[in-house]
Every structure is written in structure tokens, then in C-alpha cells.
């Protein structure tokens, strides 16, 4: 595909990096020459210094030949204008990033496709939905559902006393043969491992597992975790993400929301029906203690400052909160947070990248997600008739190094794959893969 990306901030850069690994023809546009110089470090990307709202700039990028234009600058006005002009100039599909929830509301009276915008992405809502999912799956650090939960990929951090510690994957499969799961990756230190049967699970590893719903409870137990029901939640920060998270959960949990800005606090109190809004500085440990943080099951920090979110979550864990989730806006911080004791993190920019990638790959392959801090992706392939994947059992397929098939959904039924499993045409196949192998995988299933 020929893809034009307008805006080389974190979202644009991560999109360019990911899509360039898949042999797409990428053109990056940004008025900031320094950002483009950074983008030049990626191979096979054409950079154009200029405004994406300029007709001359878009014409120089050959927008009329573009299969897709991704307008992901920090300005929704620029994104809207870029998408509309690009579509009028001949681009096949356009995507615009927005910061106003009105545009994605079911009550919105505007049909944006008529204007030339095929897809609108609102990262704050996606981040709030992911936060809710992590709170509901109390033991997991990451949760990705396939086909409405028929299969799931979950991340679990392994404690020293977990029954899995010190055992190879072969031993684990033999000992827990009644549990339907497959470990598809291990994150250790700063390294992502696609494991073999001889690899061992060690303390503090973060394992990623493809699993069926019926086996979830048993898996969490052997990983040394408990999937408790949370009742009390404290949210630090009345940002869009904090507000949406509270609104989505306030009918199920007792929620306290701490906001330092008094005016915003009054707005939140008016909008949220059952949430107790408190005006104060969430970095003040005395305030947290006064508001009963030791009685909280979960703590979510979603202020506009990544450092505040990380520090306050570490304080919450020190005070005995079962699960702490931090919004980390700086992509460079993501690997660090995996090693300092945070239960889970969210990064709205990477969530936006995941969602746009899913839109890019509609068809035989749909990218489900990238995992925070883990240099890997999860894909769902639809196996085509007479593809190479249907010719042999999985153990005999030429699966590229750095990829592992975890599960299959066939005729509404999901199951975990083994070496002797046969893939059939029409199967939806879940694959965990390191960067750079997507093209080989596509050939396997197409």
C-alpha cells in the first residue's frame, strides 16, 4: 500500500516505524524538519517538509495515488482539513485523529464519510476502555480479546512463589495438561523471547498466554495470582481519560477521583453521578491516606504528567493497593515501567497506533495489538483456500523465526494449537510475532 502519514509526533513516528517493516510505501509529512530527520533514521521512508493542509504539499506526495492518508498530528483541525483535502485530491481512504468526543458520539449529526473522512480515532476513549478492561481482569497486566472473548491473550507477571517458576514449557504442558493454554512469549529484563519447549519460566518474568475462557481461572492460579473482584477504585486526574474511566465504572465500583484544579473538579462533580470528586494534590501521601487509599483495591493515575503518574502508583503499591495502573505518555518510558513494579500501564499514543494499524490491515490479516513495552505484535489471520498454512500440520509448516501460532477460531469454536494441529481454510489464526516477520506470515496464510 502507498500510505501518507501527516504528522511525525509519537503516533506518526510509531506508525511509520511499524508499517515500514511491512513493505508499505510510506511518505511522511511534517512542517518540523527536526522530526523528519529523526524519521529519516527509518529505512525506505520518503519525508516531505511542509504542511499537510497544503494542496501543493499533498500533490508533491502524489496523494492521488495514495491508498491511505493517516492524519495524526496533535491538531484535530489540521487532521480534519488534511483528510478532507486528501480525499478530494484522490486518496482512496483517510483517517483523522481527534481530541473531541463529540465527533465519535452516536448522537453526532454529521456523516464524516460524506466530507471525505473514512475513519475517526479518539485515543482518550480507547485508553479509557483499556483501563476498564485491566481493572475488570484484576490479575492481568495486558488483556487482548479475540472474537468477543472466545480466545484471549493475557499478560501475567510471575511471582517468586508461583508454581510455574523453574519449570520448562514442556514440563508445564505435561503437568497442567487439563488447562487449555499456550505460553507464546516471555518478557525478561528488556528482552522479548519467543520460547521453545526447553525455555524456563523465572521469577519476575512477564509471560503472555493465549487461553480459552474456561481455563482462565486455573491459569491465574498456577501463575501465583488471584482474580479478585474489585470494589473500591481511586483515580488520580480528572483528564478526559480519568473522566471516561469513572463514567464507565461508577455504576459498578465505589470511585474517588482526585483533581487538583478546582474548576475542573466542579465540572466533574456535576457530570459524574456516583463518583466522589476530591480537590487536592494526588502526590500528597497524607491526602491519599486521609482519603482511604489503604482501603482501595485499585489505583489509576491519569494526570497529564507521566512522572506524577508513575510515582503516585508506586506510592499506592507501597501502601498496599492491589493493582496500580499508570498513564505513561512518553513512549521512551514504557520499557522502564515494566521493571519498577507497576502492575499495568497505558499509553494512548500506542493505543492509537494499534487501532489505526487494525484499520490499515483490514482483509486477510487484522493486527490486533502491540503490547506496551514488548517489541512484538499479535495478529489474527484469516486462512485463505489453498494457502501454505493448510498444506501441513503446524509442526511441519515453515513458520518464520520469531513467530508462534497460539490459537484458532473455527466455526465459532476456539482452541489452543499444538504441533499436530491442522489449519483449515477459513480459520481465524492468532499469531504472536516479533517485528519484521509479518510479510512472511502473510504469505503463509494467503
Domains present along the chain, CATH in parentheses: 2-121 (3.40.50.720), 139-222 (3.30.70.1450), 230-350 (3.40.50.720), 376-445 (3.30.70.1450)
Please give the pLDDT value at position 73.
95
- Of residues 22 and 275, more confidence is placed in 275
d(CA 357, CA 345): 20
Q: Is 234 helix (H, G, I), strand (E, B) or coil?
A: strand
Angle at 111 between CA 110 and CA 115, to 5 degrees: 105
Please give the pLDDT value at position 5.
96
For residue range 29-41, what is the model confidence (pLDDT) as tens digits? 999 998 888 877 7
Longest alpha-carbon distance in the chain: 65
d(CA 27, CA 61): 7
Looking at residues 267-288, what average pLDDT do you find?
91
Please give the pLDDT value at position 367.
46
H/E segment holding residue 87 = helix 76-88
Instruction: Of 377, 378, 367, give the one whose Cα is nearest residue 435.
Output: 377
Q: Is the pLDDT of residue 280 over 50?
A: yes
Looking at residues 290-311, what average pLDDT do you find?
92
| Of 1-5, 91-95, 215-219, 253-257, minimum mean pLDDT range | 215-219
Q: Is the pLDDT of residue 42 over 80?
A: no
Q: Is the pLDDT of residue 213 over 90?
A: no
Looking at residues 77-84, what average pLDDT do you find?
96
d(CA 201, CA 424): 32
Q: How many helices (H) and strands (E) does the chain have?
A: 15, 22
For residue range 81-117, what is the model confidence (pLDDT) as tens digits? 999 999 999 999 999 999 988 898 888 898 999 999 9
For residue range 303-330, what is the model confidence (pLDDT) as tens digits? 999 889 999 999 898 888 988 999 988 7
Q: How far is CA 107 from CA 110, 129, 144, 273, 286, in A?
A: 9, 19, 28, 21, 43
- Percent residues over pLDDT 90 in the chain: 42
Please give the pLDDT value at position 139.
72
- Of residues 238 and 24, more confidence is placed in 238
Instruction: Of 366, 406, 368, 391, give the one whose Cα is nearest residue 444.
Output: 391
Q: Is 374 helix (H, G, I), strand (E, B) or coil?
A: coil
Q: DSSP secondary structure string, 266-321?
A: HHHHHH-SS-EEEES-TT-HHHHHHTTGGG-SEEEE--S-HHHHHHHHHHHHHTT-
Please give the pLDDT value at position 368.
53
Please give the pLDDT value at position 359.
67
| pLDDT-derived band at 370, boundaries 50, 70, 90 | low
For residue range 168-209, what is the model confidence (pLDDT) as tens digits? 999 998 999 889 899 998 888 777 888 888 999 998 888 989
Please give the pLDDT value at position 261.
93
For residue range 120-173, what is the model confidence (pLDDT) as tens digits? 999 999 899 889 988 887 777 777 787 777 888 888 888 888 899 999 999 998
| pLDDT-derived band at 363, boundaries 50, 70, 90 | very low
Please give the pLDDT value at position 432.
85
d(CA 317, CA 435): 33
Q: How far is CA 284 from CA 226, 232, 297, 320, 416, in A?
A: 30, 20, 19, 16, 47
Looking at residues 373-391, what average pLDDT do you find?
81
Q: Is the pLDDT of residue 344 over 90?
A: no
Instruction: Of 354, 353, 376, give the one whose Cα is nearest residue 12.
Output: 353
What is the average pLDDT score of the chain? 87
Q: Is the pLDDT of residue 353 over 50?
A: yes
Please give the pLDDT value at position 16.
87
Q: Is the pLDDT of residue 335 over 70?
A: no
d(CA 426, CA 185): 26
All residues at 6 or more sequence positions from 51 whose CB lies less than 8 Å from its CB, including other chains: 29, 31, 57, 78
| pLDDT-derived band at 336, boundaries 50, 70, 90 | low
Looking at residues 207-212, what average pLDDT do you find?
90
Please give the pLDDT value at position 431.
87
Please give the pLDDT value at position 122.
92
Beta bridge partners, 254, equal: 232
d(CA 43, CA 268): 46
Please give the pLDDT value at position 288.
87
Amino acid at each position: 500500500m502507498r500510505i501518507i502519514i501527516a504528522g511525525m509526533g509519537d503516533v506518526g513516528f510509531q506508525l511509520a516505524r511499524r508499517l515500514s517493516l511491512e513493505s508499505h510505501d510510506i511518505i511522511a509529512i511534517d512542517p518540523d524538519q527536526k522530526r523528519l530527520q529523526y524519521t529519516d533514521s527509518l529505512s525506505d521512508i520518503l519525508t516531505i517538509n511542509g504542511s499537510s493542509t497544503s494542496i501543493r504539499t499533498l500533490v508533491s506526495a502524489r496523494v492521488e495515488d495514495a491508498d491511505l492518508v493517516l492524519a495524526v498530528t496533535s491538531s484535530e483541525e489540521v487532521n480534519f482539513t488534511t483528510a478532507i483535502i486528501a480525499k478530494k485530491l484522490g486518496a482512496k481512504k483517510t483517517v483523522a485523529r481527534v481530541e473531541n468526543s463529540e465527533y465519535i458520539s452516536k448522537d453526532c449529526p454529521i456523516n464524516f464519510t460524506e466530507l471525505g473522512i473514512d475513519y475517526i480515532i479518539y485515543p482518550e476513549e480507547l485508553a479509557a476502555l483499556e483501563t476498564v478492561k485491566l481493572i475488570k481482569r484484576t490479575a492481568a497486566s495486558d488483556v487482548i480479546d479475540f472474537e468477543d472473548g472466545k480466545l484471549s491473550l493475557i499478560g501475567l507477571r510471575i511471582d517468586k512463589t508461583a508454581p510455574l517458576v523453574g519449570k520448562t514449557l514442556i514440563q508445564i504442558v505435561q503437568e497442567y495438561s487439563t488447562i487449555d493454554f499456550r505460553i507464546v512469549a516471555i518478557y525478561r529484563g528488556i528482552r522479548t523471547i519467543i520460547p521453545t519447549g526447553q525455555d524456563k519460566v523465572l521469577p519476575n518474568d512477564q509471560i503472555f498466554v493465549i487461553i480459552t475462557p474456561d481455563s482462565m481461572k486455573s491459569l491465574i492460579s498456577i501463575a501465583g495470582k488471584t482474580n479478585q473482584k474489585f470494589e473500591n477504585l481511586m483515580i488520580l486526574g480528572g483528564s478526559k481519560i480519568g473522566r471516561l474511566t469513572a463514567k464507565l465504572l461508577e455504576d459498578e465500583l465505589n470511585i474517588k477521583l482526585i483533581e487538583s484544579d478546582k474548576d475542573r473538579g466542579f465540572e466533574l462533580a456535576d457530570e459524574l453521578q456516583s463518583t466522589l470528586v476530591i480537590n487536592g494534590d494526588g502526590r500528597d501521601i497524607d491526602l491519599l491516606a486521609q482519603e482511604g487509599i489503604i482501603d482501595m483495591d485499585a489505583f489509576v493515575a491519569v494526570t497529564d504528567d507521566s512522572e506524577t503518574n508513575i510515582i503516585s502508583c508506586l506510592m499506592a503499591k507501597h501502601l498496599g493497593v492491589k493493582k496500580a495502573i499508570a498513564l505513561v505518555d512518553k513512549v521512551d518510558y514504557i520499557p522502564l515501567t515494566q521493571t519498577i513494579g507497576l502492575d499495568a500501564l497505558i499509553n494512548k499514543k500506542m493505543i492509537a497506533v494499534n487501532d489505526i494499524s487494525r484499520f490499515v490491515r483490514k482483509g486477510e490479516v487484522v493486527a490486533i495489538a502491540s503490547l506496551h513495552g514488548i517489541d512484538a505484535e499479535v495478529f489474527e489471520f484469516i486462512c485463505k483456500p489453498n494457502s501454505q498454512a493448510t498444506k501441513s500440520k503446524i509442526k511441519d509448516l515453515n513458520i518464520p523465526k520469531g513467530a508462534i501460532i497460539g490459537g484458532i477460531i473455527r466455526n465459532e469454536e476456539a482452541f489452543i494449537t499444538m504441533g499436530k494441529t491442522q489449519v483449515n481454510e477459513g480459520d481465524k489464526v492468532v499469531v504472536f510475532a516479533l517485528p519484521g516477520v509479518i510479510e512472511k506470515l502473510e504469505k503463509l496464510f494467503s
